[in-house]
Structure 1
Amino acid sequence: MIARKSIILLCIAIIGCINAPVEPLQNTTFKMEVLSSKKTGITFENKLTDTSSLNIIEYLYYYNGGGVSVGDINNDGLDDIYFAANQLPDKLYLNLGNMQFKDISTAAGLNQKPSWSTGVSMQDVNNDGYIDIYVCKVGQFNELQSHNELYLNNGDLTFTEAASEVNLDFSGFSTQAAFLDYDQDGDLDLYLLNHNIHSVRSYGNTKARKIPNTLAGDRFYENKMNESGTFEEVTESSGIYSSALGYGLAVGISDFNMDGLPDIYVGNDFHENDYLYINNGNKTFTESIEFYTSHTSRFTMGIDIADMNNDGFLDFFTTDMLPFAAEILLKSGGEDTDQVIRIKERYGFRPQFARNHLQINNGDTTFSDLALQTKTFATDWSWGVLLADFDNDGWNDIFVPNGIVKRPNDLDYINYLSNTNYSQFEQTKKDKIRKKIINEMPTLEIPNLLIHNKGKLGFESIEKSAIGTPGYTTGAAYSDLDNDGDLDLILNNIDTPAQILENKKEGNQSFTFVLKPNENCPNVVGTKLFFYTNAYTTIKEHQTVRGFQSASSSKIHFALPPQGLLDSLKVLWPNGTEQWLKQFDDRLIVINPSVQKPSRFQEKVVNEQFELDLFPFKHIENNYYDEEKEQLVPERLSREGPAVLYADFNQDEIKDFFIGGASQQPAQILLGTKQGTFKNQFIPDFDRDRGFEDVTVASIDIDKDGDLDLYVGSGGNEVISPNPAYEDRIYVNDGKGIFKRAPISLPQTNTGCVAIADFDNDQNPDYFIGSRSITGAYGLTPKSFIVQNEAGRAMKMLDRKQWGMITDAQWIDLNQDDYLDLILVGDWMPITILINQEGKAFENQTAAYGLAATQGLWNTVLVEDFNKDGFLDIVAGNAGSNLKWDASLEKPIVLYLDDFDNNKQADPIIFYEYGKTTIPFASKDKLSSQLPGIKKRFTSYNDFAKVNSIETLVDRKPSNILQTKRLVELRSMIFLNQGGTSFEAKPLPNEAQKSSIEDFSFNATTGTLAFVGNNNNNVAELGPSLANAGGLFNFYDSTIQNFASYQRFPLPLGTIAKKIVQLDNDDFVVITNNDNSYLLKKKE
């Protein structure tokens, strides 16, 4: 009998998106005409019929469908088409021209006995000048007993199946094959991508990667046909994993590190990491995904590689299964919980998130995921992806084939399985049980998407990108089938006929480049073409395996935008030579490798200004996770440190560092030396106070002895305040850099920042103490303090108000009246202006300065006269635009705070815009865990999926809710002072929006603005912000409309940079959270 537990595990394992009506969306950018089978002659259909031994219950990937490949099998200049079928015969169609095709499968000698074909690729395997065909199969599974097939082209429209003769007749769970010349000997070697099915061997820690699996493990074969007439398996010696952990669905070949050698990207389903095999040039690979990406897709299904921003570097896109429709999303399981993610990390698995990833090349062999910023992160149950210029405007667009026949991950369906008593069925009725289980699985047709690239990483919204009719498309390829200068699409669907989408887009100049091997270069796969235009430089690479189980045309398609001119073309051949072209008189250009000078393969971009070195401090965060006690929080506020101060503590005219520690890590004094190094000085009182979390620090000469004392603010968000663990501290300096804690009672709040200045002009330092949060009540506004120092006689509480969840503050004389005013920033609050009333009070004039509508998740603020007009401007670091959330005045993110379940605890409920509607940020399960009434109010996930407001969720009108907050701006901004009366807001350049900004440093002499950032404190549903650890802008002109240049700091990928300090010699020190700290040394 079918075990209920195994069925439920199958469903839970692939939670990602659920069925609901999805209306076809209109795409008006592209002109794609679906051709009828009568027009094309293509009648192929990949039709599936369940059997008792082969169905979605027995075989996890039953609905993965078949691939499609294109290639010119008879060298007539027209691409022909091969369709892979699962339960019917594969078909080969000869292109007759004018979009007409002829089925030559039988005449060509193809095996017409049905067997479970998956992926298909076309390449000239034996270097005879004709395209061969390699077909992947599923074998050794129930009645499926076939093996992979290699059809060698006889040159007369017939093929000879020769897989067993050349040792490529693998029988197991194959997905796709990709050919590459890994040893640069002029012939094509083979990477065979295989996939596992759930078994005991599928789980465990990453040590299992070294245990080979005969059916599911990937294989690598070296081409020895010129020597022995066969391929030799070299999987183990080449460094390729071949274990049962791999669920390989995607494979892409490219020179990821631009060293002239082909590398391999493998996209794995489920818990296993994606792999990035870097070619070492000695017939071995090194798996290096952690050094190239911060995180990847979780259920990676497809991959393609192309230059998406026309900067001359190759980027890549991986697909996952996150729904773009809100109603489907709310019935989905979503991400792993944060606890599960941490368990996986302990087992050796890297961070993975269930959404698409658009990995943009930083030019230094690292990639930053910008799918959230570009709003391409959710395209539903997406198989492959094709990156190509489908409208001939010079920018690569994104095509995503979509849909699965049965969705076993519907949460209501999983509940149905959990609540059904299968013991009533006898063993003899297992077929009846299976049929019932399958029939209950939801069915939903989804439209394919063709997303227009508008340039500069701007893309058309998903809501306007549907193309064709909804269905189930798995295999997809592109080719200019009719040689009219634009790219057409070929689709392999499930249970409906295959389709040709003819591109009818007109206008703009395009070129087709055909690369022809010869004796100088017998293999052209992997050739790079650099196009130099009057607008940009871009790169294209000769690879055919793209998307999912499919391969596209080997012809290189290139189009120019309006008024675009192609100046020159550099060709980098795989044999290590380069060739230049400057005449482009014809639209079709055939390029034959010629004897040219050796190429200089484009190396990684060398940082022009800085080199990286370690700084002698490592922050070690204690293990505490806010979301384990507060289920509905979007971020952790317990990891705000470390505090950093750069000043001369021992009066030797050399600046030193104070760096605070996390709980159980003592703060440190690092004394500067004449040699430019720093020496740790042990401070007994710091060691005794190691239990505090040092999150902020300011200098103060509290005893007026001429040296700098310290005010250290405590945070942590771990215990309810007031609590001694949050007590701020003052340490008195003996003049030699030895500090002792002063016996002074200070606030016991979760301090966010402290700012000290003489705001009443009495020559005594006064204090602002900004509170970060109220522990256990995320979103409620804590009280912050303005404390007046009355000539050493007493400390007077001048003001104590709820200004916000404060993260940073700065004293400045904004209105030039000789009294210091106060600028505040924080979470869920605007840039706040408190104007000093001659030292007697402070007046909130945020609205008067035009900043009332700036509510954000602000981390840091810096006030300077950036444009040198005599008025102080503001630059503020925010969460950035590379988030799942997108905030604006018209579509704000809203936080509702109240005791919704009457348990005397405030509950934060967040709503945000997703697709076409507003939805709760927290899932039904999370909401129910904190608010038990939710489970009773919404008995099914289908009911919950209709929630689009706080009122429908908790049956309470917004006007009756205790507190409501909004976010309307998530970008980091500069606010230019307009003559002292108001501010003009401008977003910082796109490079500064890729991640959160945590700190700034401005050099008024050079006009450079440095910043650092990244944030790993968001909960899994929101995801980390790790795309840019920092960089340096040069201001272009006094109006700050543009920036002259941008230099990315060479910090390690994923660095959580919290503070940046510019040293006296123009070097920078970057202090991180829970990691090493770094010295950025200015190059001579």
Structure 2
Amino acid sequence: MIKKLGLITLLALIGCSQNKENKDSENQLGTKFKDVKASFSGVDFSNDLSPKGDLNIIEYLYYYNGGGVALGDINNDGLDDIYFTANQKADKLYLNKGNLKFEDISLASNISKENSWSTGVTMVDINNDGLLDIYVCKVGNYKSLQAKNELYINQGNNTFKEQAKEYGLDFSGFSTQASFFDYDKDGDVDMYLLNHSVHSTYSYGNKELRNKSDVLAGDILFENQSEKGQIKFKDVTKDAGIYNSALGYGLAITTTDVNQDGFIDIYVGNDFHENDYLYINNGDKTFTESSESYFNHTSRFTMGVDSGDLNNDTKPDIITLDMMPYKADVFLKSGGEDSDKVNEIKKSFGFQQQYSRNHLQLNHDTYFKDVALFTNTHATDWSWSPLILDYNNDGLNDIYITNGIYKRPNDLDYINYISNVDFAKYTETLQDTLEQKLIDVMPTLKLQNVLFTNKGDLKFNKSKQSYSETYSNGAAYSDLDLDGDLDIVVNNINEKATILENKSENSNYLTLNIFEENKGLNSNGTKLYLFANGKTFYKEQHTVKGFLSSSTRKVHFGLADIAKIDSLQIIWNDNTKTVLKDLAVNKEHEVVKKQTSAYAYNKVDKSQPQEFSYQHKENTFLDYEKEGLIPEKLSTEGPSYVQADFDGDGLKDLFIGGARNQEPVLFMQNAKGNFTPKELPIFKEDAMYEDVDAIALDIDNDNDLDIYALSGGSDYEEGDPLLEDRVYINDGKSNFTKLNATLLATNGGSVSSYDYNNDGLQDLFIGSRSIPNAYGLSPFSYILKNTGNNNFEIQFKKRFGMITDSKWADLNNDGFVELILAGDWMPITVWSINKEGNLENKTKEFGLENTNGMWNVIDLKDLNNDGNLDILAGNTGQNFKWKASVAKPVTMYVDDFDKNYKIDPIIFYNYFGTNVPFATKEKLIQQLPIIKKKFLKYATFAEVNSIKDLELKEEKDILTTKTLFELRSMAFINDGKSFIKIPLPKEAQYSTIEDFYVNGNHIYYTGNFDGFVTELGKSSSNSGGSFQFVNGDFNQNKSLQLPRNFCGRKIIPINKDSLLVLSNNGQSFITNTNK
């Protein structure tokens, strides 16, 4: 049969599938590595690959995934030795002779001499005899690859005996890596075997395919069921709740106690469409897969995984690697995110949200927050092995990442080339020729490996060190030369392995070699807490991490300038502890578990906030299907609310506006503080409107509060009757009727009231958000004069911007009130009405120029009690793909560039120092077919750095240009004349802020927004929190008790201890501010 299927399958390989002179250089952060030459070390291993026959990247999608590294002391001489796996040649074992010199003992040690396809490798004392054994994963039962996994039992004299069959571990299939740990706390090591799928009919479909077992590709959990000295491993996969299907493309695994309950949990990184798996250990020999309960989204093509404490809060965080390039030209010509439509299809199939970039998941006890975009660790290109540890001994864990793939099948020009191949021309006998041709023209790109040095407070600096450009895969760390810092060993394709000698100096350290008495070398999962100088440092011993590799079993602490350790607490796997004091720094300590006491884990508070009897339900509308270049949806703006006393009983009631086809609800408060919905016929009649904002004011001057409801929704056409605002007149007893009047019909954004002309009647500002189907153009907004008799007339009509919020206040205490506006693609703007009755823009006068942002909300409060109103402003935050400043703005050019009577918003932003178009080439061509001929190749499109390069129109002639200079959520402190800009705490920058509530010096907020297009990604790492403003600065953020995936829109005080937080398109909750 013709091999056409394999060739076409290559189109799906957007997933995983000039040496510079070695030199000693130091980055500006003090971490210094030296590339040790093979001629000095004696390590001449090279993972050489030669595509042929049925063994190449077309026939086996993971052909260029490379090999792994294991570091461990096989002869107990105190020096860690090196094992390399090879794909098309024999594996190698090197004995550490000291001083970074190694001896090749591969033949003498009796490790396999066959050239089978080895993948991951793990060192483990599987039989508890105090000697490290070696388990090697293989690819078998696939075409010409017919090997079984191998277990080399250490004989104690630098030789090994292969005994996988005897232990029940001679699996033959598509193995990636094995991780050994005691999952059931019975004192021996069990094994999780991570396997990977190859494209088949069982690897595509909905999530229900997880339940279909696959004997070659499915993961396996083996329980150690040793009896009477006979060690035997039994497959307990199904009983333990582990998925075993071909849907999983398992490429990486790490084990850690995610929820700090004393039981080891498992994180599995999957390639392609399948979710990553987070198996939470239930403590009864079963696991619950909980990825969607702990993560809002994950990497799309997860290739490497590690866990470690990155913010020194003594909880394990998780990093996963993907393939997002950091070079602008490579980024523009590489396959990236799913289209919005494909993203929706995957969601309908039951898959979790994924993005093709690295994720750095911060542990928040009951869930994780991805902060990779905040830390700028999200893009390192085709990355494999992340290793979290302290490489410069400053007390902060850094991140080392290996990079590169020998052939890049995700190059979009190459994919187009394959798509145009006439397969019919190639007969069966010419298929090998065609395959070789396709492999030959597949692009290559060497990359440098990356070191992110942790500077504290979640600031990471990318190393400036000149690492050699390689195709690097597996990596592991150890202090190979016993000088007190961690060295790194890397397995490379088609060139010699890298040994990086760490030459960092002038910082203290502590190394622990821990053992459980009579249990050999198995202490994986042990936790260590080091207390010194008022700080707590946390480590968890696990050797399998990164990609295809296992690192040293020794535990290393960097101590910076700390010279005295107060104590070290070791929490063993059996829930006992050992406390050590008077440990000398700058040396290795051997610790044997002997005298222990019981240790009780603190229970994590898993209580949920109280549900409120209201659920906002957005109608389904996909804005991007009508406007292909927009960055965000504007059809999901609710709910609105008004908190006011509508029946005159002295208690504040609550009006909540509905989404399209959802009626508003009026909740009446009773003396006990409870809220009961009141049936009102007019609200049912008006359910077809979408309420985007509302205010309470006495419109008919009868001394009770009426409601002005602002309509909106980008799913309507401009001028649609359902965009008309409504007024509900109160009879004083909370019975409402609709005012029979013709009101404005705009896509509303904000309504606010003030008697600006001092005639005793409340006037209105009506702020419009956008013009339907014309994103980027500013709609008309209005100031309406209240003329009495339930009538308003237009006093001012102006394009103020894309308005999201508005407030009236006297900012400079001059007796004249200003109108303060927030919106998209605009600064926080201040307007005043002068003595002549004209509008004046006072933005620059108040020092608010160059604050152009994507502002969602503003709140006015005197934060520092100086008598001046300050401004709190909610923005997108810094955990966002776009970065903006005055020097490097995000710029949007808005015009009908192709004269088809449709507005085209073309956005450029700064991508790691280069200005690039936000829209993909496909999206631009779909919107502007006129540019297709100009950019036939992605390589040409990758050179586009400005609107001029698109050759559409002279920049000076473009209808509208808008910019973003500031994406941080901010406080603007009023000194009486102008504003001083202060960014909110870093935790408040993890996501959008949608609303504030201020009580004294306590500032509460809620956020998250899932309406950004896929290229930007959901903003979902902070549903809410609080902080204080003290002495001119903000203190530490405290999270509100809200669900992980909550999208908060409004935050409302309902009593002195509780806040009601309204959700967009979901359940609303009451959260206690004392928790």
Quote the Cα distance in structure 1 between the aligned partners of 2:5 and 2:894. Answer: 39
Residues 155 and 26 of structure 1: CA distance in aligned 2, closer, same or farther (over 3 Å)? closer
Residue equivalent to 1:377: 378
Q: Report how far residue 688 of structure 1 moved.
A: 1.1
Query: Is the CA contact 2:754–2:762 (under 8 Å) kept in the aligned structure 1?
Result: yes
Q: Distance in 2 between matches of 1:805 and 1:315?
A: 39
Partner residue in 2 for 1:597: 597
Q: Please report the TM-score for the alignment, with normalisation by the length of structure 2.
A: 0.97
Contact 1:321 1:378 in 2 (8 A): yes
How far apart, CA to CA, are the structure 2 residues paired with 1:143 and 1:425?
23
Which residue number corresponds to residue 490 of structure 2?
491
Instruction: Answer whether contact 2:129 2:519 (CA < 8 A) is retained.
Output: no
- The range that moved more, 447-456 or 990-999, is 447-456
CA deviation profile, 1:984-1027 (whole Å, cap 9, x unmatched): 000011011011000000012xx211000001010000111100
The CA distance in 2 between the partners of 1:344 and 1:387, in whole Å, is 32
Contact persistence 1:274–1:289 (CA under 8 A): yes
1:47 maps to: 48
Aligned twin of 1:572: 571
What is the rounded CA distance, in whole Å, between the counterparts of 1:431 and 1:523 in structure 2?
Answer: 48
Is 1:1042 the counterpart of 2:1034 in the alignment?
Answer: yes
Residue number in structure 2 paired with 1:1054: 1045
Deviations 1:46-98 (A, max 9, x none): 10111111000100000011100011111111101100001101111111111
1:630 aligns with 2:632: no
Contact in 2 for aligned 1:900/1:954 (Cα 8 Å) = no
Change (3 A) 1:430 1:606: closer
**What's the counterpart of residue 174 of structure 1?**
175
Indicate the SS of the match to 2:932.
Answer: helix
SS in 1 for 2:593: coil
1:822 aligns with 819
**1:657 paired residue among 638, 641, 654:** 654
Kindly indicate whether residue 793 of structure 2 is the aligned counterpart of residue 796 of structure 1: yes
Moved beyond 6 Å, runs of 4+? 23-26
- Is the 1:15–1:332 contact (alpha carbons within 8 Å) kept by the matching residues of 2? no
* Distance in 2, Cα, partners of 1:848 & 1:16: 54
Residue in 1 aligned with 2:335? Answer: 333
Residues 341-363 of structure 1: per-residue CA shift (max 9 Å, x gap): 1111111100000000000112x
**Stretch of structure 1 that moved more, 896-905 or 955-964:** 955-964
Offset of 1:563 from its aligned partner?
A: 5.4
Amino acid at match of 2:517: N
Structure 1 residues 260-294: Cα deviation after superposition (integer angstroms, max 9, x where no partner): 00000000000000000000000000000111111
Q: In the alignment, residue 579 of structure 1 is paired with which amino acid?
A: T
Structure 2 runs not aligned, ≥5 long: none
Q: CA deviation at 1:429?
A: 1.2
Answer yes or no: is the 8 Å Cα contact 1:1011–1:1060 preserved in 2: yes
Asked whether the 8 Å contact 2:128–2:518 carries over to 1, the reply is: no
Alpha-carbon shift at residue 602 of structure 1 (Å): 4.5
Q: CA deviation at 1:689?
A: 0.9
Secondary structure at the aligned position of 2:360 is classed as strand
The aligned residue for residue 644 of structure 1 is: 641
Q: Which letter maps to 1:714?
A: S
Aligned to 1:935: 932
In 2, Cα distance between equivalents of 1:73 and 1:311: 34
CA distance 1:677–1:889, change in 2 (3 Å): same
CA contact (8 A) 2:46 2:492 kept: yes
Three-state SS of the structure 1 residue aligned to 2:925 is helix
Q: Which residue of 1 aligns with 2:1023?
A: 1029
Aligned-partner SS, 2:468: strand
User: Which residues in structure 2 correspond to 1:923-1002 (within 5 Å)?
Assistant: 923-978=920-975, 980-1002=976-998
Alignment of 1:31-46 (within 5 A): 31-46=32-47
Alignment check: 8 A CA contact 1:804 1:826 kept? yes
**Corresponding position of 1:301:** 303
Contact 1:717 1:750 in 2 (8 A): yes
Asked if 2 retains the 8 angstrom alpha-carbon contact of 1:512 and 1:555, the reply is yes
Shift in Å, 1:569: 1.8
CA apart distance, 1:913? 0.5
Aligned position for 1:1012: 1006
TM alignment of 1:370-519, pairs within 5 A: 370-461=371-462, 464-465=463-464, 467-519=466-518
Residue 327 of structure 1: SS of its match in structure 2? helix
Alpha-carbon shift at residue 838 of structure 1 (Å): 4.7
Secondary structure of the equivalent of 2:476?
A: strand
Which residues of 2 match residues 182-197 of structure 1 at below 5 A?
Answer: 182-197=183-198
How big is each residue's C-alpha offset from its partner over 1:290-343, in whole Å with a ceiling of 9 and x where there is no partner?
A: 111110000000001111111211111000000000001110221001111111
Q: Contact 2:15–2:272 (CA<8 Å) still a contact in 1?
A: no
Alignment of 1:711-730 (within 5 A): 711-730=708-727
The separation in 2 between residues aligned to 1:276 and 1:664, in whole angstroms, is: 38
Give the distance between the partners of 1:433 and 1:320, measured in 2 at CA.
30
* Count of equivalent residues: 1069
Question: What is the CA-CA distance between 1:519 and the residue it aligns to?
Answer: 4.1
**8 Å CA contact retained: 1:866, 1:872:** yes
The one-character-per-residue Cα deviations of 1:844-864 (angstroms, maximum 9, x if unpaired) are 100111101100000000111
CA RMSD of aligned residues (A): 1.9
Give the drift of 1:599.
1.0
Q: Is the 8 A contact 1:521 1:574 kept in 2?
A: no
Q: Is the counterpart of residue 1076 in structure 1 residue 1067 in structure 2?
A: yes
- Residue 762 (structure 1) shift: 1.2
Q: Secondary structure at the match of 1:513?
A: strand
In the alignment, which of 351, 354, 362 is matched to residue 352 of structure 1? 354
Aligned with residue 892 of structure 1, among 885, 889, 893: 889
SS at match of 1:435: helix
The reply to whether residue 763 of structure 1 matches residue 760 of structure 2 is yes
Cα distance 1:873–1:16, how it changes in 2: closer, same or farther (>3 A)? farther
Change (3 A) 1:109 1:12: closer
State how far apart, in whole Å, the 2-side matches of 1:852 and 1:328 are.
35
CA distance in 2, matches of 1:817, 1:521: 79
Query: 2:53, 2:521 → 1: CA distance?
Result: 49
1:386-445 per-position Cα deviation (integer Å, ceiling 9, x unaligned): 111111111111111111111112111111111121212221111111111111111111
**How far has the Cα of 1:544 moved from its partner?**
0.3
| Aligned ranges 1:648-797 → 2 under 5 Å | 648-792=645-789, 794-797=791-794
Candidates 218, 234, 237, aligned match of 1:235 = 237
The superposition leaves residues 125-175 of structure 1 with CA deviations (integer Å, 9 ceiling, x where unpaired) of 111111111000000011111100111111221111111011100000000
Distance (Å, rounded) in 1 between the aligned partners of 2:836 and 2:680: 37
- Return 54-63 or 593-602, whichever deviates more: 593-602
2:199 is matched with 198
Query: What secondary structure sits across from 1:460 in the alignment?
Result: strand
Measured after TM superposition, the shift of residue 955 of structure 1 is 4.5
Measure the CA separation in 2 of the matches of 1:77 and 1:514. 10
Matched residue type, 2:1042: L
Question: In the aligned structure 2, how far is the partner of 1:553 from the partner of 1:973?
Answer: 45
Code of the aligned partner of 1:359 = Q
Instruction: Report the AA paired with residue 80 of structure 1.
Output: D
Give distance in 1, aligned partners of 2:378 and 2:1037.
26
Deviation, structure 1 residue 1082: 4.6
Q: CA distance change for structure 1 residues 148 and 293 in 2, over 3 Å: closer, same or farther?
A: same
- Relative distance call for 1:1076 and 1:898 in structure 2 (3 A) is same
Structure 2 CA distance for partners of 1:565 and 1:787, relative to 1, 3 Å: farther
Question: 5 Å matches for 1:123-202?
Answer: 123-202=124-203
Question: How far did 1:4 drift?
Answer: 4.7
In 1, are the aligned partners of 2:1027 and 2:1034 still within 8 Å (CA)?
no
Contact kept, 8 Å, 1:857 with 1:878, in 2: the verdict is yes
Q: What is the CA–CA distance in structure 1 between the aligned matches of 2:790 and 2:710, rounded to whole Å?
A: 23
How far apart in 2 are the matches of 1:703 and 1:965? 41
